[in-house]
Amino acid sequence: MGLTATMTSSARSGPWIGRSPERVEDAALLTGNGRFIDDLGVRPGTLHAAILRSPHAHADILTIDTAAARAAPGVAAVVIGPDVKALTASLVVGVKAPVECWPIAVDRVRYVGEPVAVVVASDRYKAEDALDLIEVRYAPRPSVIDPLAAIAADAPILHDGFPHNVASDRRFRYGDPEAAFAAASHRIAIDIVYPRNSCTPIETYGVVAEYSVSDDAYDILANFQGPFSIHAVISRALKLPGNRVRLRTPPDSGGSFGVKQGVFPYIVLIAAAARIAGRPVKWIEDRLEHLCASSSATNRATTLAAAVDDEGRVLALDWDQVEDCGAHLRAPEPATLYRMHGNLTGAYDIRHMSVRNRVIVTNKTPTGLNRGFGGPQVYFALERLMQRIAVELDIDPLDVIRRNLVPGNAFPYRTASGALLDSGDYAETIELGAREGGLDELKARRAAARAEGRLYGIGYTAVVEPSVSNMGYLSTVLTPAERRRAGPKNGAQATATVSIDPVGAVSVHVASVPQGQGHRTVLAQVIADVFGVAPQDVRVNTEIDTAKDAWSIASGNYSSRFAAAVAGTAKLAADRIAVRLRRIAASHLNVEASEVAFGNGKVFSRDNPDNAMPFARLAALSHWSPGSLPDAAGQTIRETVFWTPEQLAAPDDADRINSSLCHGFIFDICGVEIDRATGEVRIDRYVTAHDCGTILHPGMVDGQIRGGFGQGFGAALLEEFAYGADGSFLTGTFADYLLPTSTELPEPVIVHMQTPSPFTPLGAKGVGEGNCMSTPVCIANAVADALGEKNIVLPLVPARIRALIAGEEPPAPVGGMTAPRAKKPGGRGLEGEGSADVGAPPQAVWDMLLDPATLQAVIPGCHGVEKISDTHFRAEVTLGIGPVKGRYRAEVKLFDLDAPRAVTLSGTADGALGYGAGEGRITLTPRDDGGTTVSYTYDAEIGGKVASIGGRLLDGAARVIIGQFFAALARHAGGGAPAAGAAGGLSGWLRRLFGGAR
Amino acid sequence: MPRLSAAQRHPVRFRLNGEAVEGIAEPRMLLADFIRHELGRTGTHVGCEHGVCGACTVSIDGTMARSCLTLAAQVEGCEVRTVEGLAPEPGRLSVLQAAFRRHHALQCGFCTAGILMSLDVYLRAHPAPTEPEIREVLSGHLCRCTGYAPIVRAAMDAAAELSLSTRQEDVRYV
């Protein structure tokens, strides 16, 4: 098959919108000819950066010794916080507060993974070598991970400018919620803890930056996705006007889902590093960096209450949302919280509402854009609540949904908090989804399963999917008085340019940055329909260069704005040229302009199609004979349109905000069966019915739905950025942060209805984010139905499900296995105990344990032991744990000495790969054979890179190392062997590593 | 294999997509980095550098392998195939590649090269796979865009087309 898809002659004519031609992007991507950022060449002499990151969640930086790193081969520069601070200004913080936010730690680290130093070297390998030579001394502070704990009175404070860790606390009131609650016969409430997760694109961040001294300007290439309002943040941080900060994007980007908005602090950091190094600098993020420290969705604690009548109608809502934005409030946060503000009543006709929104900082990675952006958090609370209303009032959950829907004749419908729902017929979409999705059959399966004693449940969600964000919605976080001082913010400029070259070939440029959504294909379809040419005759460029292209703050690819706003704007630009072409054609064809039509590559008279001329010839006239064109026809060479919808007004004084232009509707049904023994959730069927307005390319719309569903499925069942109680990041690999794979992800049944949006040029609405909003809670509702449970916490991993159904488990048989001892909650804590037999009397063993020379000989990987005092030792050791092997400095102090019977050891270890702290008690018991039984217990906490990527192996590794220690001690004492405890641990670990697990 | 010194760069020679290639690499250099940055074949992508995501999968002597977990020095004398070697000729797609395009089995395309290589290796040995078998092969790859269903359909469709073709080898691999 050729690279240009062959078309039959009948298929060559329009209209192209609504069809699913093969994508123009695919041939290059399928043959290895994509042009992602790391596939592009760089200028000769470009240096490569690697970043040293904090192993601590919260600590003061005492000293950073970079001398050895600077002297390492190939190293050109080592950049630390004060260097960056000298060249840049603080990143803008999203609320008004005396708080600074730097792209690299200055004096203090506030999350694991925060950049501490950047090494710039001749290649990446050498840069990473030099990272290991940087010595940083930290003084750890108490950290706080949970958002509700962060607002407690005695919580550690992250920023003095955020009292009680609260960056913003706003209350809103719409209608008369107090009266509605007082009058309602029921108050039904739910408490939600929504976890942290991320859509994790498979391509990580990348930046190439250089600084020109002579121009005093930066030139930056980054796989940034927008919004380009962030360009203003970047240029302000780099202390230059925007016209001296040229930001370009590569032709291809390997997925983003919002996440690549978060590359911007690294743009500032690498730009500063390039200025310091005096050479271009390239940085490609690795996966550990990405999982640990790029960005994530917010986690949120929500209490939501409804005033409900006896029929299940919701009369009022009362929201209390505590939003956790991580360690810094980076632009555009707290946008995740406010993106849904107009949509807090979902798909329902609810006129009274009160809202309290608190924005909190904790010792976790700063948050940012992520597909669904606020929708998953809001709908998890709202749709769980609707399910609870059904359960508590004993009404069918689908009837509760139906009774509360915005009626079909009410559009456009203004919600209580100000959104203008543009179009739809929600009840009709629900009936369509239930019918086409086979709801009756699912109900029969549930009945049959339950009759057999199996756990089967059905969940529903009805969700309004907002798209095309109002650039003014974030200002809802300010009070009306603050907004008046700041000036109104509103609108959403979409930008498109259509140009025609001297041979009549059509090109399109849009200020949107695709990461796989097929923009080039769809734009070719849209423009082909306007000019009556074939899509393959239209060339589309979707790169952005802020120095040359038309763009504005809303440029970029986010809030599902492509189909609704950008593609429509391209059509408007082409329409403007088409109007002029008609005037020119009219004079050539001797007809009225209104009679001119485009089709099959020709321009012709509608009444007499034989009266025609080739499109390319007509289109080129503006180049070749501009002097001969009809008066006032105007040029047809290039047209740029900026389009912003009038419906996107600034928030009003009553805090009503139309936060998005378009509102699609989704109705989902999920049937699940739960394995009672393992707690595994299996999706029996998932139905997702969408009304996203006019569909431009059905194949791509279904692709967006399947992809969003996959990420929603992962959020529901697998994915969580897990932190230890001390703030250690515990999911630093794709073996710890589990994504759905082909063996467990089912294919959803997709149902469509099309109610065009009256507000967009093509009638299209966004569709890409909806299932990230609807699917997590739909699966949760199904699980709640299956288990009869109220408190459903994501992700629904088997262990969590098992804990929910454990009450039904029969008692364990006598003598059977017992559950392992519970660890401290949340921490990557290690505890263990064991014993070893040593062929020497207790006093000899005691002396060996306190002798530096013996310790050096028996501690695995020990390079040297220094005796500071009789009870204080310092050691250098090399330890390998799982995939990470590194050198650590250990300090050990002895307490409670009871010679020669027992001693308590308390120690810390730290190195480039992490740190640990622990305590152990060793007891020596004389044996009948003259030897000694050495018994020990230990309890340790591990943090840093080791905890992030070696977490699964830590318990086993600790046992191995301790076993090795006692085996060596026994050898050193001249006989004996470790007793069962340690040996069992070692062999058990080896068996797990190399045996059954494979 | 000759004894290599960590401090030195050594020549590495192998066949890449049927063509003899040669470069210089430190012993620690990853095959993925070598193919991409030394040899300039950037179609193979690196997504995780710890062997889970599968984006960097290549064929080494006919076996699928993670080029992020393989050292360049290890393929000395081997036959390595990458995504650049799949198309029968410039301007044409292989049956598998064409099926991917037809079924919209890619969106951003970053993970696609690795998936194509695994399927190419697998379908050579298993010309009549079942859907569960294809899903099992694909479980070694992470795709965040497609939800896998169109990839499964493309693989099944390609397998069917390849088994129907009377001149299978001619169409498939040139």
Q: What angle do CA B114, B117, B118 make, to 5 degrees?
A: 90
Query: Which residues in chain B are closer than 8 Å to A733, comparing Cβ atoms?
Result: 48, 50, 52
pLDDT at A29 over 60: yes
Query: Which residues in chain B are closer than 8 Å to A515, comparing Cβ atoms?
Result: 108
Give the tens place of pLDDT for each residue, A652-668. Answer: 999 999 999 999 999 99
| Burial class of residue A640 (count of CB atoms within 10 Å of its CB; 0-12, 13-18, 19+) | middle
Q: Which of A515, A703, A741 is opposite residue B142, by nearest beta carbon?
A: A741
| Cβ separation B146–A710 shorter than 8 A | yes
Q: Tell whether B151 lies on the interface with A, counting CB pairs under 8 A.
A: yes
User: Which of A19, A31, A46, A129 is most worth mutating to test chain B (most B CB atoms within 10 A of its CB)?
Assistant: A31
28-67 in chain B: CB under 8 A from chain A: 28-29, 36, 41-50, 52-53, 55
Architecture of domain A830-994: 2-Layer Sandwich (3.30)
Edge-to-edge strand ranges of the sheet holding A538-541:
A538-541, A506-510, A494-500, A638-643
Return the minimum-mean-pLDDT range out of A148-157, A180-189, A208-217, A927-936.
A927-936
Query: Which residues in chain B are closer than 8 Å to A949, comparing Cβ atoms?
Result: 50
pLDDT at A992 over 70: no
Mean confidence (pLDDT) of chain B: 93
Give the tens place of pLDDT for each residue, A484-537. Answer: 999 999 999 999 999 999 999 999 999 999 999 999 999 999 999 999 999 999
Mean confidence (pLDDT) of chain A: 92
Give the tens place of pLDDT for each residue, A621-630. Answer: 999 999 989 8
Q: Between 3.40.50.300, 3.40.50.10190, 3.30.365.10, 1.25.40.390, what CATH number should domain A405-470+658-815+823-827 receive?
A: 3.30.365.10
| Cβ separation B150–A29 shorter than 8 A | no
Q: Tell whether A199 lies on the interface with B, counting CB pairs under 8 A.
A: yes
CB distance A339 to A94 below 8 Å: no
Q: Tell whether A542 lies on the interface with B, counting CB pairs under 8 A.
A: no
DSSP 8-state secondary structure symbol assigned to residue A545: B
Query: Which residues in chain A are closer than 8 Å to B97, comparing Cβ atoms?
Result: 30-31
Give the torsion through C-alpha atoms of A383, A389, A395, A397, to 10 deg: 10
CA atoms within a 13 Å half-sphere pointing along the CA-CB vector of A323: 34
| Cβ separation A31–B97 shorter than 8 A | yes
Give the tens place of pLDDT for each residue, A404-441. Answer: 999 999 999 999 999 999 999 999 999 999 999 999 99
pLDDT at A975 over 90: no
Q: What pLDDT is recorded for position A812?
A: 55
| Cβ separation A32–B139 shorter than 8 A | no
Domain-wise residue ranges, chain A: 10-33+493-540+560-643, 43-395, 405-470+658-815+823-827, 830-994
Residues paired with residue A838 on neighbouring β-strands, in sequence order: A932
* CA-based nearest residue in chain B for residue A33: B43
* CA-based nearest residue in chain A for residue B69: A883
CA atoms within a 13 Å half-sphere pointing along the CA-CB vector of A438: 13
CATH code for the domain defined by B95-172: 1.10.150.120
Edge-to-edge strand ranges of the sheet holding A884-898:
A829-838, A932-943, A914-926, A902-911, A884-898, A872-881, A862-869
* CA-based nearest residue in chain B for residue A36: B110
Give me the sign of the Cα torsion angle A170, A171, A173, A174.
positive
Q: What pLDDT is recorded for position A439?
A: 98
Give the tens place of pLDDT for each residue, A706-749. Answer: 999 999 999 999 999 999 999 999 999 999 999 999 999 999 99
Within 8 A by CB and 6+ apart from A23, the residues are A518, A520, A521, A700, B101, B104
Closest CA of chain B from A699, distance in Å: 7
Return the minimum-mean-pLDDT range out of A713-717, A901-905, B150-154.
A901-905
Tokens of A647: 């419906």
pLDDT at A820 over 80: no
Closest CA of chain B from A594, distance in Å: 39
CA distance A872 to A892: 6
**pLDDT interval class at A885 (50, 70, 90):** confident
Architecture of domain A10-33+493-540+560-643: 2-Layer Sandwich (3.30)
Q: Which of A33, A700, A743 is opposite residue B104, by nearest beta carbon?
A: A700
| Cβ separation B84–A31 shorter than 8 A | yes
**pLDDT interval class at A998 (50, 70, 90):** very low
Query: Which residues in chain A are closer than 8 Å to B57, comparing Cβ atoms?
Result: none
Give the tens place of pLDDT for each residue, A117-163. Answer: 999 999 999 999 999 999 999 999 999 999 999 999 999 999 999 99
Q: Where in chain B is the domain with CATH 1.10.150.120?
A: 95-172
Q: Does domain A43-395 match CATH 3.30.590.20?
A: no
pLDDT at B170 over 70: no
Q: What pLDDT is recorded for position A12?
A: 59
Backbone torsions φ then ψ of A662, nearest 5 degrees = -115, 155
Within 8 A by CB and 6+ apart from A912, the residues are A131, A132, A134, A886, A887, A945
Query: Which residues in chain B are closer than 8 Å to A32, comparing Cβ atoms?
Result: 41-44, 82-84, 86, 113
Closest CA of chain A from B66, distance in Å: 15
**pLDDT interval class at A810 (50, 70, 90):** low
Does the fold of domain A405-470+658-815+823-827 match that of domain A43-395?
no
Q: Tell whether A253 lies on the interface with B, counting CB pairs under 8 A.
A: yes
Tokens of A756: 């065009």
| Cβ separation B53–A734 shorter than 8 A | yes
DSSP 8-state secondary structure symbol assigned to residue A634: -
Return the minimum-mean-pLDDT range out of A699-703, A731-735, A927-931.
A927-931
> What integer is the mean pLDDT of A433-453?
98
CA distance A308 to A348: 13
Give the tens place of pLDDT for each residue, A836-845. Answer: 888 889 999 9
User: Which of A742, A750, A948 is most worth mutating to test chain B (most B CB atoms within 10 A of its CB)?
Assistant: A742
| Cβ separation B107–A707 shorter than 8 A | yes
Q: Which of B50, B109, B136 is opposite residue A29, by nearest beta carbon?
A: B109
What value of ipTM does the predicted structure carry? 0.96
CB distance B172 to B94 below 8 Å: yes
Q: Where in chain B is the domain with CATH 3.10.20.30?
A: 10-84
Give the tens place of pLDDT for each residue, A53-85. Answer: 999 999 999 999 999 999 999 999 999 999 999
Residue % of chain A over a pLDDT of 90: 80
| Cβ separation A287–B92 shorter than 8 A | no
| Cβ separation B113–A32 shorter than 8 A | yes
Q: What pLDDT is recorded for position A962?
A: 81
Query: Which residues in chain A are closer than 8 Å to B30, comparing Cβ atoms?
Result: none
For residues A223 and A870, the model is more confident at: A223
* CA-based nearest residue in chain B for residue A736: B52
CB distance A127 to A120 below 8 Å: yes
Closest CA of chain B from A709, distance in Å: 7
Q: How many CB pairs under 8 A join A and B?
A: 177
Query: Which residues in chain B are closer than 8 Å to A200, comparing Cβ atoms?
Result: 144
DSSP 8-state secondary structure symbol assigned to residue A10: G
CATH topology for the B10-84 domain: Ubiquitin-like (UB roll) (3.10.20)
Q: What pLDDT is recorded for position A234?
A: 98
